[in-house]
């Protein structure tokens, strides 16, 4: 089942207008400033060992040495879509990382379990997919911890990475994921597939911009992405990229030395 972005947000009980949906959402890769203004990915160069605050990394890309990349999928699990993505990964024996919304995990627990059972990494994308940089600390803590608890209960595994929805996160919020031993990871390649620009556009953007060390942002929410994921994977394999999970790419978030 593929849903529109507006339907998706409405299902989570979020206000579409309040979340400022528009061209800047997916491209706001890191919000490291003390203010609530997100910084675009183009402003911040890809990082390997930092920047870090209190020994916790904000990461936009992985090490450029070698030919490794990480392809990631946000906003699931989504019945009818996540299965297609998993099937394409399985055909090629590839590993990925899925940043799951806690509420959706409760709605499709078997699908979350399948993701883990097939060798992929399951990470935290908050419970209700809200902009964390607009929330009080207590609510941010709840959004993250509730998702940690939910994923652990369903999969028997505790996530070690957080991806804030929309890339919206403030520097002074770092203590919250740090207290849970969570690293904060963003992305360096964004095809804006959430806007459903067409399968060919998604494929072209990813194949054009991916390079060693790239962290690719996709969403297992829309059928457009699922329909073209095989083309994406084959195109990247033709360029001899090695697919790894976020943890395999970056090690534990509190380790200073990255893979």
What residues are annotated to the active site? 74, 219
The pair phi, psi for residue 225, each rounded to 5°, is: -65, -45
Angstrom distance (rounded) from CA 180 to CA 192? 30
Q: Which 8-state DSSP code applies to residue 241?
A: P
Evaluate whether 6 touches 129 at the Cβ level (below 8 Å).
no
Helix (H, G, I), strand (E, B) or coil at 69: strand
CA pair distance 126, 164, nearest whole angstrom = 7
Question: Distance between CA atoms of 41 and 209, rounded to whole angstroms?
Answer: 13
| β-pair partners for 243 | 69
Tokens of 58: 């904000």
Q: Are 31 and 170 in contact (CB under 8 A)?
A: yes
Cα(4)–Cα(9) distance, integer angstroms: 9
């Amino acid at each position: 089942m593929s849903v529109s972005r507006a339907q998706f947000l409405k299902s989570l009980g979020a206000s579409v207008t309040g979340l400022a949906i528009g061209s800047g959402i997916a491209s706001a890769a890191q919000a490291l400033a003390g203010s609530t203004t997100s910084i675009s990915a183009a402003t911040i160069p890809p990082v390997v060992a930092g920047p870090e605050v209190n020994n916790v990394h904000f990461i936009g890309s992985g090490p450029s040495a070698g030919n490794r990349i990480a392809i990631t999928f946000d906003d699931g699990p989504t019945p009818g879509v996540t299965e297609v993505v998993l099937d394409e990964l399985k055909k090629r024996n590839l590993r990925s990382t899925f940043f799951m919304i806690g509420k959706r995990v409760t709605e499709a627990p078997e699908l979350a379990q399948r993701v883990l059972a097939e060798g992929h990494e399951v990470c935290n994308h908050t419970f209700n997919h809200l902009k964390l940089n607009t929330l009080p600390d207590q609510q941010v803590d709840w959004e993250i911890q509730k998702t940690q608890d939910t994923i652990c209960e369903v999969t028997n595994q505790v996530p070690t990475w957080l991806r804030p929805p929309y890339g919206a996160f403030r520097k002074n919020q770092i203590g919250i994921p740090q207290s849970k031993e969570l690293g904060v990871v963003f992305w360096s390649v964004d095809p804006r597939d959430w806007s459903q620009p067409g399968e060919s556009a998604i494929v072209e953007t990813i194949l054009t911009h991916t390079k060693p060390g790239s962290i690719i942002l996709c969403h297992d929410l829309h059928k457009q992405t699922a329909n073209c994921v095989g083309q994406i994977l084959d195109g990247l394999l033709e360029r001899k990229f090695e697919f790894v999970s976020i943890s395999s790419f970056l090690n534990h978030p509190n380790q200073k030395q990255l893979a």
